[in-house]
Amino acid sequence: MPTYFETLAELCEKLGTTKKRSLMIKLVADFLKRLEPLEVEPAVSMILGRSFPRGSSLKLDVSWATISEIIKRLTNADWNLFLSIFKRTGDLGSAVKEFLEKSRTYRQKVLLENPLTIIEVRRRFEAIAEASGQGSRDKKERLLEALLSIASPLEAKYIVKILIGEMRTGFHEGLMERAVSEAFQMPLADVQRACMALGDIAIVASKARLDGIASLSGVGVQVFRPIKPMLAQVVDNVAEAIREHGGKTALEYKLDGARVQIHKRGDEVKIFSRQLTEVTESLPDIVEYVRGNIHVGEAIFEGEVIAVDYRGRPMPFQHLMRRFKRIHDVNVMVNEIPVKLFLFDLLYLDGRDLCSTPYVQRRSLLAKLVDVENLTPQIITGSAQEAESFLMSAINSGHEGLVAKRLDSPYMPGVRGKHWLKIKLTLEPLDLVIVAAEYGYGKRHKWLSDYYLAARDEETGDFLVVGKTFKGLTDAEIEEMTRKLKELTIKEEHRRVIVIPKMVVQVAYNEIQKSPKYKSGLALRFARITSIREDKTVEEVDTIQKIKEIYEKQFLKKGIYDIR
């Protein structure tokens, strides 16, 4: 029997009010056990706030502006009522639910319709995503209006949350791995290993439900199926990195570019971003380089693509993002913004999964396949003095710093640990999300040019403001940012707009201070945006907990205020 979408929504309601993690895992595990096999992947994706599995080429491309206009039409109610509800709840989905409950027109419509199922909601999402060509915007709007018009207020709450990618129940991917393990009676280690290889717990859950534990035991790296990138922790200096790695480490330049995973089989080449989204069409020059210069049957490489000027020196990250966003007239952009590929890892070669192979061996194999000028510069050393010199070489060449890699480290997809360590000369820039913006003054009076920057509280999932800035972006970038933020606007308050947290930016700053002005209790001093990180999602923004750690570290030799 098909599972109603309202059952999934009711589960999410319980998760949002449950603090005990073990109970959350049990609730989800019990729910997964009852699903039909084809319902598992859509359900897991939706519980995690995703319309489609990670890495899917399907994109809904529906803005909050579109959603809000549809809700206005369906209710014929005073929109000021919605804004007052949102101000009280602080949650878009909850505000939508309560607003619809107060609309008599909407309630009467919904009573006449058949209940939605999980599969039906997924099919309607697919239809919205597949609408293309002339008139596609209107078609998407009609399809979404049809879906919301037959959803109950509770269902509409979670449809909206999935559409905007802001679930905020506190149930994250790590807990889902445990729920899948419990639901299908499989060792957690097997589930986690399969998740690393397949890149998405929703796909793992589906395979587990369909084929059992045997389907996961043989899961490994496969060409053209992207895997999660391994991540690095931050340390303060090279001496700490050498000490952490047992007296000797491999150091590589940390490039200010876009991380890519390149899959090759014969002449077929596909390139994936750090979000596991395919970006092959945006990088035809990189595809041609790999085809013409790397002579292997099958391989998966990892590296960094950077934008370069006519002298081959690295250009700011935002120039590179113009390449990644371009789908049409790519050849024009190839000439305007040339890029260069630097490879630093080899994950798979001619039928052999190399993830468990020690790093130095992977690097040695890579060096035999790739021209030296396309390898990330590297040294292996136990000398802090030599490491400092190499760090300065990286900085003077226009790069960000170094990454230290433990010599015997395996490649651990999706894991951020001490096998890889980042070292920079200055304070580590923060990835933050814009939650509000204000119109500027003078020539910027028509643009949203002052931005409220927020970090994620890993305990509650809320975004807490840690500063405000109007510095760092060009006029062209501010104009484009204004357009995007208007599409994400929830509420206007005089010269300020409140927006859905979607736009991630990298922020430099001079110091972190205690601040009674913000709920977080912290403020960045002299904050300025260094780049717009369209390659990152809001799940990847830095946390309040990390910022507190930085605050405490910077005052180790000074007095410190208690900010807890």
Do the strands 489-493 and 496-499 form a parallel or antiparallel pair, or are they unpaired? antiparallel
Q: With beta carbons less than 8 A apart as the criterion, state whether 4 and 116 touch.
A: yes
What would the pLDDT profile of 178-201 be if each residue is shown by its tens digit? 999 999 998 898 888 888 888 889
Q: How far apart are CA 133 and CA 401, in angstroms?
A: 44
Pairing of strands 463-469, 489-493: unpaired
Tell the CATH superfamily of the 430-554 domain.
Answer: Nucleic acid-binding proteins (2.40.50.140)
CB 518 within 8 A of CB 556: no
Express each pLDDT in 246-271 by its tens digit: 999 999 999 988 999 999 999 999 99
Q: Cβ–Cβ contacts within 10 Å for residue 135, how many?
A: 10
Question: Are the beta carbons of 447 and 517 closer than 8 angstroms?
Answer: no
- For residue 347, is it left (φ>0), alpha (ψ between -120 and 50) or beta? alpha
Mean pLDDT, rounded, for 472-477: 88
> What is the rounded CA–CA span in Å between residue 65 and residue 88?
20
Distances from the Cα of 481 to the Cαs of 173, 443, 493, in angstroms? 30, 16, 18
Sequence-ordered list of residues with C-beta below 8 angstroms from that of 164, at least 6 positions apart, any chain: 64, 67, 92, 500, 502
Percent of the chain with pLDDT over 90: 56
Residue 110: pLDDT over 90: no
Percent of the chain with pLDDT over 70: 95
Token output for 134: 């002339």
Residue keyed to tokens 């690097």 = 363
pLDDT at 287 over 80: yes
Residues in CB range of 286: below 8 A, 6 or more apart: 260, 262, 271, 305, 339, 341
Could you state, in order of their start, the residue ranges of all structural domains in the chain? Answer: 50-164, 231-424, 430-554
Residue 545's pLDDT band (cuts 50, 70, 90): very high
Name residues whose C-beta falls within 8 Å of residue 453's C-beta, 6 or more positions apart in sequence. 432, 433, 434, 435, 465, 466, 467, 468, 469, 505, 507, 524, 527
Least confident of 244-248, 323-327, 357-361, 558-562: 558-562
At 560, is the pLDDT very low, low, confident or very high (cuts 50, 70, 90)? very low
557 — pLDDT class (breaks 50, 70, 90):
very low
Same CATH topology for 231-424 and 430-554? no
Least confident range from 220-229, 281-290, 329-338, 531-540: namely 329-338
pLDDT in tens, 69-84: 999 988 888 888 888 8
Give the Å distances, CA to CA, from 558 to 78, 220, 516, 520, 552. Answer: 54, 50, 20, 22, 10
Three-state SS letters, 288-304 = HHHHHHCCCCEEEEEEE
Catalytic positions: 254
- Distance from C-alpha of 544 to C-alpha of 561, rounded to nearest angstrom: 16
**Interval 76-93 mean pLDDT:** 86
In this predicted structure, the answer to whether residue 324 has a pLDDT above a threshold of 80 is no
- pLDDT-wise least confident of 381-385, 427-431, 484-488: 427-431
Q: What is the pTM of this model?
A: 0.77
149: helix, strand or coil: helix
Name which of 485, 503, 510 is nearest 541 in CA terms. 503
Separation of alpha carbons 100 and 160, rounded Å:
12
8-state DSSP, 253: E
Phi, then psi, of 517 in degrees rounded to 5: -70, -35
For the segment 428-435, the average pLDDT, to the nearest whole number, is 92
Residue-averaged pLDDT of the chain: 89
Pick among 3.50.50.60, 3.40.980.10, 3.30.1330.90, 1.10.3260.10: CATH of 50-164: 1.10.3260.10
CATH class of the structural domain 231-424: alpha beta
In angstroms, the CA 248 to CA 478 distance is: 45
